[in-house]
Amino acid sequence: MNNVTTDAALVLAGILFVIGAIGVLVRRNLIFVLMSVEIMLNAAAIAFVAAGSKWNQPDGQVFVIFILVTAAAEVAVGLSLLLRIYSQWRSVDTDEVSLLKERSNE
Amino acid sequence: MTQLFYASGAVAIVASILVVVGTDPMHAIISLAVVLLAIATIFWTLGAPFAAVLQIIIYAGAILILFVFAVMVLNLGREERAREKSLISGVIWVLPFVLTAALLAEFILVLANRQTMPAVAVVGPHPVGESLFTTYLIGVELMSMLLLAGLVAAFHFGVIPARLGEPDE
């Protein structure tokens, strides 16, 4: 019934992870950085599911649930930090938020 | 099943490229929803129906709403979008692209030196739940503590004191 190869799924996970990594490296807007992190987490989840169904074990899907929970906590904290940063700097640009640098120059 | 896998994989790749190069946050969120739904389809084709359902309910349902809400609250205007466009154009892509392309090449090279085996098994919700609450019970407890910590942190950062409500300058 199902002849998707594990390798194809792992290559897809790799491609999606790399796209997310490019987003994290290139973007300066915190919203887009957080969304790129979401793509990277999902790529890892694909790899877990592929490995789990290759070995016919439920562990892969268990770790997908763990990834979901981690992503939920990360997004909650990340977005509340984002709102806090916006309320203080009126910007969501990571280049604007250089408080540590300014303090060390004084 | 195989065609479905490759089709939704292509959709996921194209939509995630749209997320990464997008300038309008709301359009990027819609693209992210497409990515997440495509990945749910991929989970299903890989024999993980439970993970697929959770992906749709929690990721596409709950986590995306947080993004939508944040973008709605921020309400970034047109000038921010133009600035974003100027920030991500041209030569800034080259070095990250080279670095990550090298990473992907290494990964595929490692995979190419192995035998390919089809992923056949369908693992239903029952063994997943059983494993979750026996073998990984400590993990579940740790995850609940992480969620509680996330809740407390989000609440702490979300309350904006009056003196921080104004810009610093």
Q: Is residue B167 part of a domain?
A: no
Q: What is the pLDDT of residues A66-98, one digit of tens each?
A: 999 999 999 999 998 888 888 888 888 888 777
Residue B104 resides in a domain: no
The answer to whether residues B162 and A87 touch, using CB atoms and an 8 Å cutoff, is no
| ipTM, two decimals | 0.87
pLDDT value, residue B76: 72
Domain count, chain B: 2
Q: Is A93 helix (H, G, I), strand (E, B) or coil?
A: strand
Q: Last residue of some domain: B19, B41, B76?
A: B76
Residue B157 near residue A81 (C-beta atoms within 8 A): yes
Domain contains B103: no
Q: Do B130 and A59 touch (CB under 8 A)?
A: no
Q: Is the pLDDT at A106 greater than 50, yes or no?
A: no
Tokens of B117: 């085996």
Contacts of A67 (CB under 8 A, 6+ apart): A41, A42, A44, A45, A48
Backbone φ and ψ of A93, nearest 5°: -85, 130
Output the six-digit token pair for A71: 């992503």
Interface check B1 vs A, CB under 8 A: yes
Structure tokens at A30: 């915190």
Per domain, the residue ranges of chain A are: 6-105
Sign of CA dihedral B128, B12, B9, B11: positive
Max mean pLDDT among A22-31, A38-47, B73-82 falls in: A38-47
User: For position A65, what pLDDT does the model report?
Assistant: 92
Instruction: For residue B128, give its domain range.
Output: 124-160
Q: A98 in contact with B at a CB cutoff of 8 Å?
A: no
**Sequential pLDDT tens for chain B (169 residues):** 788 889 999 999 999 999 998 888 888 999 999 999 999 999 988 888 899 999 999 988 889 998 998 888 887 767 777 777 777 777 778 888 888 888 888 878 877 777 666 666 788 888 888 888 888 999 999 999 999 999 998 888 877 665 555 555 4
Does the reported pTM lie above 0.90? no
**Which residue of A1, A2, A30, A103 to mutate against B (max B Cβ within 10 Å)?**
A2
CATH number at residue B62: 1.20.120.1200
Q: Which helix (H) or strand (E) holds B111?
A: helix B94-112
Residue B57 lies in a domain: yes
- Closest-CA residue of A relative to B106 is A14
- Chain B positions in Cβ-Cβ contact with residue A88 (cut-off 8 Å): 164, 167-168
Q: What was the pLDDT predicted at B169?
A: 45
Which chain A residue is nearest to residue B135, measuring alpha carbons? Answer: A59
Residues A106, A80, B154, A72, Cα dihedral to 10°: -130
Contact B12 A22 (CB under 8 A): no
Cα(B76)–Cα(B81) distance, rounded to whole angstroms? Answer: 8
- Residues contacting residue B137 through CB under 8 Å, at least 6 positions apart: none
Asked whether residue B17 is assigned to any structural domain, the reply reads: yes
* Amino acid making up residue B134: T
Residue of A36, A64, A55, A10 lying closest to B5 (CA atoms): A10
Q: Residue with structure tokens 């989000």?
A: B154
Which residue, chain included where needed, has tokens 């400590």?
Answer: B138
- For residue B47, the chain A residue with the least C-alpha distance is A53
Task: Name the amino acid, one letter, at B157.
Answer: F
Identify the closest residue of chain A to B36 by CA–CA distance: A42
The DSSP result for B13-31, as a single string, is HHHHHHHHH-SSHHHHHHH
Whether residue B86 is contained in a domain is answered as no
CATH architecture of A6-105: Orthogonal Bundle (1.10)
Instruction: Kindly list the residues from chain A whose CB atom is less than 8 angstroms away from the CB atom of residue B50.
Output: 61
